């Protein structure tokens, strides 16, 4: 059974009732007052999405809702599609590699169109299911597949990471910062490459520690906050003062390490603005977050299908399209905002080309 979490928004129906004025009785020597005409009763408000048959299927990878980063961003895009485009949303989460194909098939069988797979690991599964269902449009976040009914939604993670790397170098008092990646794959290496390039654009002599939580295919890498915390804490103790983590839910461990390490120690979040879901104690140690607008890609894919665009193709969300960026919550970057925006302008113009591999 498909668990339905995102339900299309409904407008509360409110009936307005007007009091009908009664006639006033006059004396024998006065003319009777006119009886007021009955006031019109307002028609009950209607649900603007009533009757909509639009259905959006969202297939999460491991971690699902509540990871605070990647999957939660996709969920926000689906919620926007529900409220603004009148989709009913069905969600399924893969808890193992064996779940991906059956989840996609279940979402198709339930009548969802489009069906969006969240994460690069859906590769083999989405290829099979999309080929078998040519009348359904699919979206694939972080993938690439040349099929006429698959919209592949990619990001320039290196560009957003360049900006948080520059921020780290501008804010570092020690001259040593760190990067923790999830699986050691090309996708996450784009985060690392951009971060290092941004830091060195500010300070060519800065030291950047790097470590991965798992090899390609090791799904535990996305859900190991204890391991990320251990690595970050060891770097903080050796003098590093800022650590950026691109490892899904594992990044929570880096934030905890910064809190425990104390004043002057910072974590940089990823995908979503992690400051917004952190505790006040954690917020004091979240310098910024690299924003990867998965929510925008999900919403726009759903919008395209609603408007009749069922074609496939490859769409890249970059700095120019605001598909990536950096968070300013907390105000910790206020004093360097001009410098970061100058770097952003150079990337958008092509003056700076950010590397995709360390």
Question: How do the pLDDT tens digits run along the chain, 358 residues long?
Answer: 344 443 333 333 333 333 333 333 333 334 444 444 445 555 556 788 988 999 999 999 888 888 888 899 999 999 999 999 999 999 999 988 899 999 999 999 999 999 999 999 999 999 999 999 999 999 999 998 999 999 999 999 999 999 999 999 999 999 999 999 999 999 999 999 999 999 999 999 999 999 999 999 898 999 999 999 999 999 999 999 999 999 999 999 999 999 999 999 999 999 999 999 999 999 999 999 999 999 999 999 999 999 999 999 999 999 999 999 999 999 999 999 999 999 999 999 999 999 999 9
Helix (H) or strand (E) holding 212: strand 207-214
Same domain, 72 and 133: yes
Helix (H) or strand (E) holding 338: helix 337-349
Domain holding 250, by residue range, is 157-292+328-349
Tokens of 353: 């080309």
Same domain, 210 and 248: yes
Contact 171, 330 (CB under 8 A): no
Kindly state whether residue 182 falls inside one of the protein's structural domains: yes
Kindly state whether residue 102 falls inside one of the protein's structural domains: yes
Q: What is the CA angle 100-105-107, rounded to 5?
A: 95
Same domain, 205 and 337: yes
* Domain total in the chain: 2
Kindly state whether residue 357 falls inside one of the protein's structural domains: no
Same domain, 74 and 221: no
Kindly state whether residue 309 falls inside one of the protein's structural domains: yes
178, β-bridge pairs: 209, 243
Burial class (CB in 10 A: 0-12, 13-18, 19+), 84: middle
Tokens of 124: 């083999």
Kindly state whether residue 1 falls inside one of the protein's structural domains: no
Same domain, 140 and 175: no
Same domain, 198 and 253: yes
What is the pLDDT at residue 41? 53
Kindly state whether residue 30 falls inside one of the protein's structural domains: no
Contact 178, 246 (CB under 8 A): no
Tokens of 203: 């300070």
Same domain, 195 and 211: yes
What is the pLDDT at residue 50? 87
Closest-CA residue to 58 (of 9, 121, 100): 100
What is the pLDDT at residue 62? 83
Kindly state whether residue 262 falls inside one of the protein's structural domains: yes
Same domain, 214 and 140: no
For the entire predicted model, the pTM comes to 0.82
What is the rounded CA–CA span in Å between residue 68 and residue 228? 15
What is the rounded CA–CA span in Å between residue 74 and residue 178? 27
Which backbone phi and psi does 92 adopt, to 5 degrees?
A: -135, 145
Same domain, 287 and 305: no
Same domain, 163 and 283: yes
Same domain, 139 and 273: no
Kindly state whether residue 44 falls inside one of the protein's structural domains: no
User: Which CATH number belongs to the domain containing residue 206 in this structure?
Assistant: 3.40.50.2300
Same domain, 248 and 238: yes
């Amino acid at each position: 059974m498909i668990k339905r979490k995102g339900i299309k928004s409904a407008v509360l129906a409110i009936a307005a009732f007007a009091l009908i004025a009664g006639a006033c009785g006059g004396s024998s020597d006065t003319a009777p007052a006119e009886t007021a005409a009955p006031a019109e009763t307002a028609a009950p408000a209607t649900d603007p999405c009533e009757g909509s048959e639009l259905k959006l299927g969202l297939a999460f990878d491991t971690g699902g809702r509540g990871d605070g980063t990647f999957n939660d961003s996709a969920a926000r895009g689906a919620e926007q599609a529900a409220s603004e485009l009148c989709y009913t949303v069905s969600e399924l989460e893969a808890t193992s590699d064996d779940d991906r194909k059956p989840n996609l098939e279940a979402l198709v069988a339930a009548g969802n169109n489009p069906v969006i797979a969240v994460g690069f690991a859906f590769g083999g599964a989405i290829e099979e299911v999309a080929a078998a269902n040519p009348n359904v449009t699919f979206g694939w976040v972080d993938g690439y597949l040349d099929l006429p009914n698959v919209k592949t939604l990619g990001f320039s993670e290196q560009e957003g990471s360049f900006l948080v790397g520059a921020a780290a170098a501008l804010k570092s008092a020690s001259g040593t910062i760190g990067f923790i990646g999830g699986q050691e794959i090309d996708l996450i290496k784009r985060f690392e490459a951009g971060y290092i390039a941004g830091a060195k654009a500010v300070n060519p002599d800065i030291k950047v520690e790097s470590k991965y939580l798992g090899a390609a295919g090791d799904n535990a890498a996305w859900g190991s906050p204890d391991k990320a915390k251990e690595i970050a804490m060891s770097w903080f103790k050796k003098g590093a003062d800022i650590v950026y983590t691109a490892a899904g839910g594992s990044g929570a461990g880096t934030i905890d390490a910064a809190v425990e390490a104390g004043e002057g120690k910072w974590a940089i979040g990823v995908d979503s603005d992690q400051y917004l879901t952190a505790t006040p104690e954690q917020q004091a140690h979240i310098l910024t977050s690299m924003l990867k607008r998965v929510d925008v890609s999900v919403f726009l894919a759903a919008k395209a299908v609603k408007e009749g665009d069922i074609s496939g193709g490859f769409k890249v969300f970059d700095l120019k399209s605001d598909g990536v960026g950096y968070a300013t919550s907390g105000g910790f970057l206020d004093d360097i905002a001009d410098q970061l925006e100058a770097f952003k302008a150079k990337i958008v113009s092509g003056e700076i080309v950010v590397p995709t591999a360390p």
